[in-house]
Every structure is written in structure tokens, then in C-alpha cells.
Structure 1
């Protein structure tokens, strides 16, 4: 089957699927101790499993933890590596995912998009560089009071549409294809309970990126740091010379963090950062949570040492007060694994070319399920899903970019078969 036939097949029902999926509230909850963190994520998992079964994928199911697994049988007689496509079902806790009202803006002509349910939410042409590539395309947004959920229901809709096409067209030669939809990616637990033995894939691609044509083989390495400050609590009416407030110590630590460097507000490119994400407690004890990010593992240790030096300097001014400094590994730069499997990226790049785009090889200032999957033994770069302005009410995606992602997925399956 030639490239033009594949590219024609990929103009199908992805927008209908996407609109259906974003209306299912799947927001995850970092404070929850359950798995998945919110039971409502399973509502989408059940829907996806039922739709996969309706396509004729006989083993499609959702497990007790909310993971959806499915297998598209091989149509080739060759021995082809088993490839998995993966996206996450949850949406970010940063913005509401309840009662999402998707709006399709047809034939976009470069205007600012004012969202009707909150006219203060405006997607401005000058503030979203990729809008210049969308003239004449059909943009989907939310209505202004919620995020859209393109992160990552665009990826889900694209994988589902590609699966339907592969099942309907057995003349497309490919090896065994696995599908994996995960919960709780947005809160860093997306692969905590995944069963890789059951999945049975050799290599994978997450479909969770941004700009059409982009493919990413490098992420931040990431640690979390928890600093506990132990103060001395005394009745404030009798506190002179005795009270040492953990709240004030914590405030001093945050105020001493670098502003012009080592901060997400002032860094870009390959520069890492230390970012305070929460403060909890009172006069006697305060807990500060930080995330630490860099592309180079050794730099994480340097950033953490700088942070601890700030903590020590603050504590030194308060005799009798103590602190604990706890570092926990979150994920590591997947490039460390992917460089040992260059064919995964080579096929991804060629698939994007065959789908009619110039590949954009990028690094992610963040992480994906693919980061941890790679270190768990399933090498997994990230390809674009087409969404923009993730985690907020200005989130958007175009139907045309979702169709490009479907073409890319189909070409990846073809290329693995061709080169086997």
C-alpha cells in the first residue's frame, strides 16, 4: 500500500471521537492514595475498551487499575517487532475537566478566539505561534471555563482511529500492534501498575506531544525534594525570645531561591530548575515540596545541593530548629535508553516524512509515560498529538493536525514491517 493511499485513509472520524472523549471528566488527583487516583477515569477506560471490542479487537479490556490493553493482530508473514502505541486518559489537576463543552471553529482565518462561556479567555493569534500554521484549518477549543483535554485525549482519539483503520484494512501489512491507555500520567503515576509482561511489546511510542511533525527522544531527568522545617511553637503572648516559626523559616527559604536562573519562570532550552510546588503546615512544622529538573543527571545533584545550602543558611539563624531534606527520584532522561535503539527514532522520523511533514526532533522540558517505560525495558519516544496550551483553558487542537498524527501512526506500523 503506497503513501498516498495511507494518507487518504487517515481523513476520517477522529474529530467525532475526540469530542466524545473530552466530555468524559477524567481529571486525576495528586492527593488521592487510590489507584487510579480518581474512579471517574475508569468511565473513559470502559468506553474505550467497548469501542475496541466493537472494532473486532477481541482481547480489549480494562484492568482493575484502569489500564486499557488491546492487541491488533499481525497481517504480515514476516517476523516483525511488536510495537505499542500509548496515550494517557487523565487530564491535569491544574484546571477543571468537568462539563467540557468542545467548540469547533471552522476555517480559521487568523483571528483571536474569544471563548463564549468566559470572554476573558482569549486565544490570541500573537501569543500562540503555531496558529500561523493553522489558517484554513478547523480548531477545537473548550468553551472558556475548563481545559479541553487535548492532553492527551487527542492522542487517544488518534490511536483509536488508527486502530479502526488497521482492523478495517487487513491489506495494510504490519506486525502485531499493542494499544495501552494509562491513568494518572499527569500526577506522575502513569505506569506505576502497568503489566509489561501482559502488554508484550518490544518498542513503543507515546502519542502525547505538541506541534505536528514533532518527535521527542529526550526528557528532563526529575527528582522531588521534600524539606521539613521543625520550628519551636510558643503561645504568641509569651513568645519573646522563645518562638521560632517554621512558617517564617520556610518563607525565608523560598525568598532566597534564585530568580534569574534555576527558576522555571526564567529558564528555557536546556537549562534546569528548582521549583517550589507546595507549602503545608504551621508554626511548629512546615513541609516544602520542590521539583528539580535538568537534562543531565549530575546537574540534579548540584541543584539539590544549592537548595540544601539555602535551607542550611536559613536554619542557622534559628538555634534549636532542625530540618529534614529528602530526595526522591521521579524519572530519568529517556535518551539514555533510546540512544541504544536508534531504529525507533529512525522509523519515527521517516514516518513523519511519509505523512507529508518535515520532522522536528525535540527535547521535552518535562516527562512522559515514555520516560519511565524506557527505563522499565520498553524503549519509548514521544510523537506529536497536535494539542497546544496544555493544562489550561486556552488549550486547543486542530482536526487537520490530528489527522496528520493518524497518518504518522499508520506509517510507523508500515515501516516496522518493511524493515523487518
Structure 2
């Protein structure tokens, strides 16, 4: 296999449609995610990684064997292959913009899509870098194919350069992270790693070891059906009850559009139904796990107050745990994060501790026995047509990974 860089890898991978489907009951949620998995397995084998394979659920596993006599903990590097359903990931046309000069980037397939430094201030720091965008009709898919590309480039470096001394390294590519199911079917015995890092972060130098804790809430509102021609004093339209319920939520707080930093939120994400029954789905987020129950009690009180005004109507309120703040685990093994910070500093990157207002596969992996902070890749403006990534940021991520595995080796007995 000819040597290629992270830019070429990313531009290849984003052209494979791997959009996840939150309404699907299969795993992975879309079988086309396995198309990229098969490509990655073959590329890993071409690098000489003999045990690379995809399991029945679409997970890709591979091992870069140790080249040291020390007993080094096994480190896993993980990225997800799927893209978000928020914007289509079909027929992505990646564009490489060399030596970005700071001017607006007009995307050619939809000239109304213009990426500017005013709207995306991080771009001001990327003047002189090579940027990759989509063409205006799709997202790019750097979330998280930039992470996939970085790990693949890292794997090639290690397989070809024995001077990088390291212990056993496990590679994991997952499906369905974007719909919250990324590790639902993951066999931790198959993974067989001690500590991990996801490559799914944003700005250069970001190291994320604190995420939201998250629940999903499903509220079903039962109205009263009647023929619309004879409905006076009989019908209670569940759609209108759901609208009244949503309208009763706070307007100036408690929502994604009104919060930042460590503030949590309650966010309606979907409404489905008809006159007799309507379902409202929410995601509940906060960095303090205990606050989720407070938010859920308040939310239920609001729906109860609305529904009780209408005789004969009812509701159900279902809570499902999604993930928890990885900090609860990572604070017990601070060296995992500290080694990543040291690696960045050693390769000339200024570390930035960033709080994740969301979650990654690492959030759940940390609670499954694999403490797993998140490292930058440069992916920005994710889940949008303005998505972009700096090639130089990706290259710095690869350099960080190379230094990181050597730090683990140096600190081993």
C-alpha cells in the first residue's frame, strides 16, 4: 500500500456514506456503515496488521504488536465511523483548500453556504493551514472520520517505524456513536485493552476528560379521539396537548440555546403522533449526574400540570440512561489524561482542557472498564454544511499519539 497522508485518507473516507439512523432497530442502524469498516480492515491488513477484522456488529478491531520488553498497559485508540443524521452524508464531495488566507469560503454546490471567520472564529487561528470542507450540500463527516484518518495514519507510522517504542496497541472503530449506541454491542473481552483514548475532539490541543451525564425521556400523551365533525366537548387533541406542554418549558433557560459551560439543559428533540396519542422525546444533560433526576422531576411536573387540566387524558413518562460523565472514572486514574497532556507539550501543542457539552464513546467506555478521555482532531462546525478540518491539526494529532504511546512505554516497568 502506498504511503498517503491524513488529508488523502479523510477525503477518501468521507465519500463513503455512513450516516446513522436513529429510527432504525438494527445494529448498526445502517448497514452501509460496514462499507467503510471493510475498507479499513483491508487497509490495516495491507499495513501488515494480521489480526484486523470486523465483527458481526460492524466493529473493527486490530492490534499493533508491542516492540518493547517492558510490560506496558495495552492502550486503545478509538474513533467512530458513522456520521450524524442532522445533515445528509450522501455524495460528500470533499474540497482541499490549500494555504487558507482568511477570506470567506464559498461552497461551490450551494453559494449561500459561506464559511467565514465571523461565524467560525477558530478559522482565524488556521490562516496558512490547509483546510478540508464539503461542497455545500452535505456535511463533511470529519466527525469522526478525521479521527479514523488520524488513527490509520498513526498505525502506518508505527508499522513502518520501529524507532517508536511502544506496548500493545489496540485499534477500535465503532458504528452508531451519533445515535448514542456506539458501544451497545461492544465485547470488552474482545477489545482487551487497559486504557483508551477517543480521537473525536475539536480545536488543536483540546483534551476532554469531562462530559455531560445524559438521560433520554419519552413522554406519551393520551388525548381523546372523536370524529372532527361531531367533536364539540368530546375531542381533546393530543397534538395540541403536546404543543401546550412544550410551550410551557422555560423560554430563557434550561435549553441548549440558552446555556453554556457546565450548565445543563432539557431539550425536546422529536414530536410524533396524531390526534389520540402524541410522543415527545427529550434529551436531558448536565455535568452533575444528580441533577438529571431534578430536571426529570421538574419536567414531569410540567406535563402533569398540562394534562390534568383535561379530564380523561393521561401521560406516561419514561426515563432511559444514556451515558455518564467520564470524569467520575477518570479522576481515579489522572495519569491517563496527564500523559496525553505531556504528549501534546512534547510535540509543541498547547494543551487545552475542554468540557464536553455532549458525550463520546469514551463516556460509556470509561464506565465499561476502559478509562478513555478524548483527544483533538481539528474537526469543527460539526453536524453542519460548514463542517471543516485543518490538515495540520490532524497531523498534530498523529504526532501526539506517537509521543503518547512512547510516554506509556517509558513509564512502564
TM-score range normalised by the length of the shorter chain = over 0.9
Aligned to 2:372: 380
8 Å contact kept, 2:147–2:200: yes
For the residues of structure 2 that align with 1:205 and 1:288, how far apart are their CA atoms?
Answer: 35
Select 2:219's aligned residue among 203, 227, 238.
227
Superposition map of 1:202-213 within 5 A: 202-213=194-205
Q: Are 2:146 and 1:146 aligned? A: no
Match of 1:346 in 2: 338
Counterpart selection for 1:29 from 6, 18, 21: 21
Question: What runs of 5+ residues in structure 1 fail to find an aligned partner?
Answer: 1-10
Alignment counterpart, residue 317 of structure 2, candidates 325, 332, 344: 325
Residues 1-400 of structure 1: pairs in structure 2 closer than 5 A: 13-400=5-392
Q: Deviations over 1:1-52 (max 9, x none)?
A: xxxxxxxxxx961111111111111001111111111111111000000000
Check the 8 A contact 2:80/2:176 in 1, yes or no.
yes
C-alpha contact 1:75 1:171 (8 A) present in aligned 2: no
Structure 2 length normalisation: TM-score? 0.98
Shift of 1:172: 1.3
Deviation (angstroms), 1:344: 0.1
Residues 216 and 364, structure 1, Cα contact 8 Å, conserved in 2? yes
Unaligned runs of 5+ in 2: none
- CA RMSD in angstroms, aligned pairs only: 0.9
| Kept after mapping to 2: 8 A contact 1:220/1:333 | yes
Residues 308 and 314 in structure 2, CA contact (< 8 A), matched pair in contact too: no
Q: Equivalent residue of 1:127, what SS?
A: coil
Q: Which residue of 2 aligns with 1:5?
A: none
Query: Is this contact kept in 1: 2:79–2:174, CA < 8 A?
Result: yes
Divergent runs of 4+, >4 A: none
Q: Over residues 224-280 of structure 1, what are the superposed CA-to-partner deviations in whole Å (9 max), with x where a residue is unaligned?
A: 000111111111221121111111110000001111110111111111000001111
Residue 171 of structure 1: CA displacement?
A: 2.0
CA distance in 2, matches of 1:387, 1:18: 11
Whole-Å Cα distance in 2 between the matches of residues 195 and 393 of structure 1? 34
Q: Give TM-score, length-normalised by structure 1.
A: 0.97
Which whole-Å deviations, capped at 9, do the CAs of 1:319-378 have from their partners, x for residues lacking one?
110110111110000100000111101101001111211100111000000000000111
For 1:357 and 1:126, how far apart are their aligned partners in 2? Answer: 25
Supply the distance in 1 between the matched residues of 2:4 and 2:55 (Cα, whole angstroms).
29
